[in-house]
Structure 1
Amino acid sequence: MPPLLRPRDTDALRAELRRVAVEAGVPVLFGGEVAGDALLLSEFVGTRTGLLRGLVVRSRSGLGGASMVAGRPLSVSDYRNASTITHDYDAPVLSEGIRSVLAVPVIVDGVPRAMLYGAYRSGAPFGGRAADLMVDAGRRLVDELRIRDEVDRRLRLREAQQTGTANPETIREVYAGLRSLAARAEGDTGAELQRLADLLSAPQMDAAHLTPREVDVLAQIALGCTNAEAAERLSLKPETVKSYLRSAANKLGTRTRHEAVSRARRARLIP
């Protein structure tokens, strides 16, 4: 099913390239989305020719392909003479006068989704602040794409609910995922994720008043997570998760984690 009301991911990618251009002063930046084992270059800042536009980079080919497979940033300081990469794309790359290049993969849940490149027309190694800003841009894109994916799942779930085809376990998984993302996100993004999660549950007026973190923990336990697994997903310590779970159980008047989850569901505190 295609994304629902989703902005173009390439717009987010382009914004990160422009940000690096301004903050790091990198003269040549380009990138694109990955589908399967192929990267399509579509976004450019500072290029002089159009030879890179529309280029398809296959996994394991060139610097970008090697970076996709390795799942980490890779660089070369002398592209023309680099012995660590294939040279399938020498003509378009060298036509730009590029010598030093850094490729940063955008990996979401183990799957390559995009690639960012920064390049100099000199032979100086690509490192320092410029490299750090490129890696930071890749991390921001990972977070943004993960949030967009979760929101897409939420919208599809809502559509399924309206047609009566929603799976309860899917509802719980999406709810827990949204609350986990909301806890890590900042500002308006976190608030919007929390609002979307709340649409999946409508607590009864006389339900026990649980704190947001107690609900977060119960949502993870409802998926069958152990305390350690819930702690990892919520970026908490296992002891902290245990404390929240104990507090929630006391408020709900239950003695076990399973009873707490069951009563929280009946009160529609969690789906």
Structure 2
Amino acid sequence: MGDDVGAVRAAVLTLHRTTGLPMVFGGALSGQDRLRITELVGNTTDSLNGLVVRQGNGLGGKAMAMGRPAWVSNYPCSAAISHDYDKPVGREGLLSILAVPIVVRRRVRGVIYGALREPLGLADRVVGAAVQVARDLEQDLAVHDRADEALAQLPPDTSAARWEEVRAVHAELRALAEQVDDLPTRDRLRRASLRLAAAGLDEADGSAGSGGAAPRPAVLSPRELDVLSYVAIGCTNAEAAERLGLLPETVKSYLRSAMRKLDSHTRLEAVTAARRAGLLP
């Protein structure tokens, strides 16, 4: 659930930025057929924070049950939904609300909401933007799930586990480098990350520990490599964005550019190509 909560948080921030709605919120499933609202932007009270929404109840519960977006232009007067949550919604003063479920492999993983404090219809542009944010999140979660499943099928290997730790440290080094204002220190951190990547190349060639291999010339920009280093340890675009202090759309742009430069069609292909080139451990 933790990964889903982080991904929903990034989606809520993106929805707020792209639509300009005065309030957006959302949450991930916290149990069977139950959603817990944990992410809020633009709220004036805490009435919705921590609210548990059950499938079929209220607007979000209806969207969960249908597996598709649902909206009302006057929440307290709508006959299309149940009114289990009128009090917390009323305290926040929300009237026109849109709820979009996050559905991965036919299973609802969360819901994102956008709302107005006036009884107005939501523009098609706003609804379309919310649906697009949800679709992007669904793709992110699906990729993350497939990566987890592939890793789970691998036999236990202490060497592989050690390399996963090296890769996590590599990603942290690159993120830390971007937070350092002192240019010489930033360069040293980047060079240290490239040494780790070169060690991975030596391991793949069967010459680990030789100490003499120099990193191959980088074909990626520092930020492209930053993003790819987090993709390599299984992060979704939203998680990489949060760790690097970037917008999810910016991460997606860097990833597309890296994939193009590495002549790769998928994230996994890009990571594999970067490792073969000595750019990632």
**TM-score normalised over the length of structure 1:** 0.59
Q: Does 1:110 align with 2:101?
A: no
Q: Which residue of 1 aligns with 2:175?
A: none
Structure 2, unmatched stretches of 5+, are: 159-254, 260-264, 274-281
Q: Which residue of 2 aligns with 1:44?
A: 40
Report the CA distance between 1:156 and its aligned residue: 1.6
AA paired with 1:23? T
Question: Quick one: which of 135, 151, 156 aligns to 1:139?
Answer: 135
Cα separation, 2, equivalents of 1:142 and 1:58: 21
Moved more, 80-89 or 127-136: 127-136
AA paired with 1:103? A
Q: SS at 2:157's partner residue?
A: helix
Cα separation, 2, equivalents of 1:38 and 1:147: 24
Cα separation, 2, equivalents of 1:92 and 1:195: 46
Question: Quick one: which of 182, 194, 199 aligns to 2:269?
Answer: 194
Counterparts in 2 of 1:193 and 1:53: CA distance versus 1, 3 Å: same
Cα separation, 2, equivalents of 1:72 and 1:132: 13
How many residues are aligned here? 173
Counterparts in 2 of 1:109 and 1:186: CA distance versus 1, 3 Å: farther
The answer to which structure, 1 or 2, has the higher relative contact order (CA under 8 A, 6+ apart) is 2
AA paired with 1:65? G
Cα separation, 2, equivalents of 1:136 and 1:73: 11
Q: Does 1:129 align with 2:204?
A: no
Cα separation, 2, equivalents of 1:43 and 1:22: 14
Q: SS at 1:20's partner residue?
A: helix
Cα separation, 1, equivalents of 2:258 and 2:271: 12
Report the CA distance between 1:21 and its aligned residue: 1.3
Counterparts in 2 of 1:116 and 1:146: CA distance versus 1, 3 Å: same
Structure 1, unmatched stretches of 5+, are: 164-184, 199-271
Q: Which residue of 1 aligns with 2:26?
A: 31
AA paired with 2:269? Q
Cα separation, 1, equivalents of 2:101 and 2:120: 21
Matches within 5 A, 1:83-232: 83-158=79-154, 160=155, 162=157, 186-188=256-258, 191-194=266-269
Does the 8 Å CA contact 2:4/2:109 hold for their aligned counterparts?
A: no
Report the CA distance between 1:186 and its aligned residue: 4.1
Report the CA distance between 1:130 and its aligned residue: 1.2
Cα separation, 1, equivalents of 2:36 and 2:103: 16
Question: Quick one: which of 4, 7, 13 aligns to 1:12?
Answer: 7
Matches within 5 A, 1:37-76: 37-76=33-72
Cα separation, 1, equivalents of 2:53 and 2:266: 38
CA deviation map 1:19-65 (0-9, x unaligned): 22122111110100023200010100001111111111000100111
AA paired with 1:22? R
Report the CA distance between 1:196 and its aligned residue: 6.4
